[in-house]
Structure 1
Amino acid sequence: MAEDQQGVARAGGPRKVRRAVAMLLVAGLAATCGARMPSAAGPGWHSPGLVGGGGWPFAGVPLNPDDEDGAAYLPGSSVVLLRDGRVRLVPLGGETAVTVPASDPRVAQAVRSDRRWLARGTVPGRTPLDREMAERALLDLRLLTRPNGASLASWYGPWRYAWPRDAAFAAAAFAVTGHAHEARQVLRFLESVQTDDGRWAARYHPDGRAVTDGRAPQLDSLGWVVWASWLVHTQDPARTGRQPELWRMVARAADRMARSLDSEGLPPPSSDYFERSPSTEQDPDSPTLGVVGPMLAGLRAAAALARERGDEQRELRWQEAARRLSDAVARRFAPYGYPRSPIRGGRMDTSVTFVAPPFAPQDPGVDAAVLNAAARLRLPNGGVLPGEKWAGNRTVAWTPETAMFALAAASAGRTDEARARLDWLARHRTSLGALPEKVDAKGRQAGVAPLGWTAALVLLTLTALDRPLPVPPP
């Protein structure tokens, strides 16, 4: 049906184009039925989603909340049909959105281009709602990724930066959905901004300049980037094997991780995805599971890459580092049920999923800890808090954390749980279907949308339900 509609649009003539657009609108409204959430007038970050176009560079401009009533994406695109029948898009090569009649030839051109890009990969999901959510997540990730490979967290000021952690997940999501070019572009950006000692700054401007706001490097990013590099390689080994700069990036990061381990096998304290000072933790002198989990996945992934390249010396070095770190996790975190800080009575948080599939082999003790953490963090609105005794608003659910538990469930074979969390995420998207950062107690958008990390995690979860994701070998 989609190809028939495109053919009508190509045939020319305002009447035929208007008819095609009308058909697209009906399909779009049907696809998003049940996936809408109440509109909430909010601060400057509020937007129901990004307006885009079909050409390179993929520019995303937020839709004004005043225009969201009755608006919908034309299916398979980032082009928005407004309530009055006009269309908003970013023309080919532009950076600013324009509003044009539905008969404008740029409308059909942009829709065709977006659909062709989607068709070059796969849209995961077993139900129409799954696939519609995945389609939107893919298109949003593309709009958030700049031509230089900088994958931005979102579009608004404090979010309009590239965090290595978030970017690593974007690369992974692009890879498992068949968009290898975009995955490699994200990794190339990360390679270009890596320091000689193997680390990354906490975040970067879209042009690659480090943000100098006093935040120290966050050691979990080393593990996440190396894990993502390995995952990208598993999906497209021929092409990544011809990119020596990606191997150099992995080697620098893996060596840094290995050198950072102390006599007990643990890295130093560092900020992680909570982005707060280690001094605020229950055990300020020890690393959190939010750092240890990604670093273990990264060292194992690096050893697997070295093995494939025939680099026995590095393989053995990184394997030994991974073994020491794994032993430290078993000794320091496992006895207490894998809390955030390795102490008796340690608080649970989402980082327990970082030592579960697809980041580590399945383990009954970890499975039990994941279920325990999910129960403790669950909110009445159905989402989860990032961690126990969260310092922020304790009635607001965070979508990346909810999606991380969904990914853990899908990767462990708990299909019903994964589906329930995905359904919750689908129900709490914006009126345009974008995944927001947060959801308040009344089910309303409470953070910027779209959020790239959540979009990537949803795509990984849907893929994991279709086929098992690879796990770095121990």
Structure 2
Amino acid sequence: MISQERLQDHLRKKPYLVDAIAGNSAMLASLGNTGRLYRLWWPHIDFPQHVDEIRTGLLLDRTPGGVSWFDEAEAGWQHKAGYVPHTNAYRVSASRPEYPVKVEQTDYAVPGQPLFVRAYRLTNDGNEARNITFYYYGSFRIAENELYATTEFRGEQDALLHHRHQYAFAIGSSHECAGYQAGSGAWHAAANGELNGNEIDMQPDGAMFWTFANVAPGQTVELTIYIAAGHGRNEALSALAEAKSRPQSAWYDDTVSYWANYLAAAAPCPSNDPAIAELYERSLLAMKLMADEETGTIVAAPEFDENFSRCGGYAYSWGRDAAFVTTAFNKAGLGSLSEKFYEWALSAQDPDGSWQQRHYHDGRLAPHWGLQIDEGSSLLWGMWDYYVYSGEQQSFLDRVWPAVEKGAAFLVSYIDQETGLPKPSRDLWEEREAEHTYSAAAVFGGLQAAASFARRQGREDLATEWEQVARKIAESIEELCWNDERSSYYRGVKLTVSKGEYEAAIERGEAGHVFQRNKGYWKHVLEVDPIVDISLLGLSVPFGVVAVDSPRMVQTADAIERLLTSPKVGGIKRYENDNYIGGNPWILTTLWLSHYRTLQGRYEDARKLLDYAVKHVTPSGLLPEQVDQNTGETAWVVPLTWSHAMYILAVHLLAEKGQL
């Protein structure tokens, strides 16, 4: 367990909540609204992360008091930040009362290049000429490791070079630096504005500075910092040389054109409402950054809790999240990203046909809590959605069919013969074990999709078998999972609980049983889980086990809205008595109810739920996971890919009904 003191030091450098991301789908950075760069991943967007701390500051006329770090609000700097329209470039303007220099900083990663660009414009806003010295300090934890890094200054390339094992990062500029220091107390030296010229140290950090003499009042000078990555020193230095071979404006123009072409290839937003259209475009841009360029993996969010201090981490690929994201890509006309993801998904399937909870970009199993049966089911369902979108391409069917056949066979083998539902597994929130109603709906959807594939392959025998199992799941849900007392479906049956929870429930008159498992341990199981949960909407949307207008489904949706609406700020919580990060409303859950209300024909209600998401974007225009239940401010995870996907889907559902 990380110590509290060390955690606080870590959070000083890397807060849980970030303001923006920038990248090119191979390189990904998370940034604050002061322009501070918190994290940098390369060559994949989930792992490894390489930055400990990167800082930038100014020193005027060699005056006493040291460097003023303009990425620091505590030092009196004021910041205005936001994305450059129609791009994933992030721009911050910094100024400070009584300080004569203003800074404009633009961060972006160049598409197709292992290159992160930080472009600066320094403007003398005073009434006399100034000597402006720009300081850069960088501390790397290459491959998330604190040990055995080397930092050196390479005079021939005028660059700081950080390297460890197979990764290297070369830091240089469009201008020749005036001084440098590798290691040996680089932070304190930089803060004091006195670098000592040390050329190499087995330390992770270093600093450089550039001086602009006699900058006249009103004059602007430009400086670009390049962070070039490579597999080894030579690659990184070569990438830096390539960066310096062109003016920064050329890299910027290439980047702007790339994002313009990406957006042009997408279906236009089906709404003329400026706020809806703006978030639609930002969603497409953010979702692209969450899809790995090489492998196609789609991750849930950029990592922000690498010490697992408040959660189990987010920079992994969940089959369920990704299936919603790919359906959103399909709706937006970006199905090539879906196809690439499902090509990747084949590499993540286990030999028995299952897909486990979450994976790294290379298909390897990530840290997890055990099987979630809805993950693989969602992948089968998502594959079918893409197949239909693609015009039923036979080549795609031929590639995925072996995985579909194995995946469906595993689902069939995982049916509890007593209930007809999938056997106990973790729920979609990764918090409890049971035969969950949502998981059963997902398996129904996966088997129906697999049966459709089988029929296209001429395997009527398998199609019939899988459809029969799916029908039995639907029957079992109606027979076993309806809670007449609460006018809602049960969240699940056969819920595993602790001994204390079990004994308290039995005292309340609830039904359950205890049985012995491996090595003489005992398992305590309650017969039903009566908690109302937003995921119960999955019975209808998207998996279609229960009709939207079924009286039971209508009652369940109404119970969800009644019991889960956050009283102060609105929005829908995940479930009753949720205590994760305080139990806030989520964006994706609110949009999930919007999906249902749209299909139900309650368009005004659906639109209000959509508008809730528009209203609760972050200042940079991204969608978080959660909204603070008391203040309405962003509470957790920025951006959450699933939130953006549910938004795209909500927009299209309303548009298809002529309600936008």
**Separation in structure 1 between the aligned mates of residue 116 and residue 33 of structure 2, nearest angstrom:** 15
Which among 291, 297, 300 is matched to residue 150 of structure 1? 297
Identity percentage over the alignment?
24
Q: Which residue of 2 aligns with 1:107?
A: 252
Which among 387, 396, 409 is matched to residue 233 of structure 1? 387
Aligned residue identity for 2:651: L
Q: Which residue of 2 aligns with 1:381?
A: 569
Q: Which residue of 2 aligns with 1:350?
A: 534
TM-score by length of 1: 0.82
CA pair 240-386 structure 1, distance change in 2 beyond 3 A:
farther
**Separation in structure 1 between the aligned mates of residue 583 and residue 316 of structure 2, nearest angstrom:** 27
Per-residue deviation, residues 326-378 of structure 1 (Å, max 9, x unmatched): 00011011354212124678110011111113320422321221121122111
Q: Which residue of 2 aligns with 1:216?
A: 370
Query: Contact 2:21 / 2:30 at 8 angstroms: preserved in 1?
Result: yes
Shift of 1:319: 0.7
Query: Contact 1:161 / 1:206 at 8 angstroms: preserved in 2?
Result: yes
Instruction: Say which SS state the counterpart of residue 620 (structure 2) adopts.
Output: coil
Q: Which residue of 2 aligns with 1:193?
A: 348
Query: Contact 2:35 / 2:105 at 8 angstroms: preserved in 1?
Result: no
Query: Contact 1:124 / 1:466 at 8 angstroms: preserved in 2?
Result: no
**Separation in structure 1 between the aligned mates of residue 615 and residue 321 of structure 2, nearest angstrom:** 23
Query: Where in structure 1 do 4 or more consecutive aligned residues deviate above 4 Å?
Result: 342-345
Q: Which residue of 2 aligns with 1:290?
A: 438
Is 2:110 the counterpart of 1:91? Answer: yes
**Separation in structure 1 between the aligned mates of residue 450 and residue 23 of structure 2, nearest angstrom:** 37
Q: Which residue of 2 aligns with 1:314?
A: 462
**Separation in structure 1 between the aligned mates of residue 650 and residue 573 of structure 2, nearest angstrom:** 19
Query: Contact 2:291 / 2:298 at 8 angstroms: preserved in 1?
Result: yes
CA pair 370-155 structure 1, distance change in 2 beyond 3 A:
same
Aligned residue identity for 1:369: T
Shift of 1:395: 4.8
Bigger RCO (CA 8 Å, 6+ sep): 1
Higher Cα Rg: structure 1 or 2?
A: 2
**Separation in structure 2 between the aligned mates of residue 160 and residue 387 of structure 1, nearest angstrom:** 24
Aligned residue identity for 1:132: E
Matches of residues 24-423 of structure 1 in structure 2 within 5 Å?
44-53=15-24, 57-67=25-35, 69-83=79-93, 84-95=103-114, 97-100=116-119, 104-126=249-271, 127-146=273-292, 147-156=294-303, 157=306, 158-213=313-368, 215-239=369-393, 241-263=395-417, 264-278=419-433, 286-336=434-484, 337-342=488-493, 346-360=530-544, 361-362=547-548, 363-379=550-566, 380-423=568-611
CA pair 313-344 structure 1, distance change in 2 beyond 3 A:
closer
Query: Contact 1:240 / 1:246 at 8 angstroms: preserved in 2?
Result: no
Instruction: Say which SS state the counterpart of residue 65 (structure 1) adopts.
Output: coil
Aligned residue identity for 1:270: S
**Separation in structure 2 between the aligned mates of residue 348 and residue 73 of structure 1, nearest angstrom:** 39
CA pair 226-205 structure 1, distance change in 2 beyond 3 A:
same
**Separation in structure 1 between the aligned mates of residue 363 and residue 453 of structure 2, nearest angstrom:** 26
Per-residue deviation, residues 360-399 of structure 1 (Å, max 9, x unmatched): 0422321221121122111021122211122334452222
Shift of 1:42: 11
**Separation in structure 2 between the aligned mates of residue 249 and residue 174 of structure 1, nearest angstrom:** 22
Shift of 1:144: 0.8
The structure where strand makes up a greater share of residues is: 2
**Separation in structure 1 between the aligned mates of residue 371 and residue 595 of structure 2, nearest angstrom:** 26
Shift of 1:163: 1.3
Q: How many residues align?
A: 417
Aligned residue identity for 2:454: A
Report the more deviating stretch, 119-128 or 424-433. Answer: 119-128
The structure where helix makes up a greater share of residues is: 1
**Separation in structure 1 between the aligned mates of residue 288 and residue 263 of structure 2, nearest angstrom:** 10
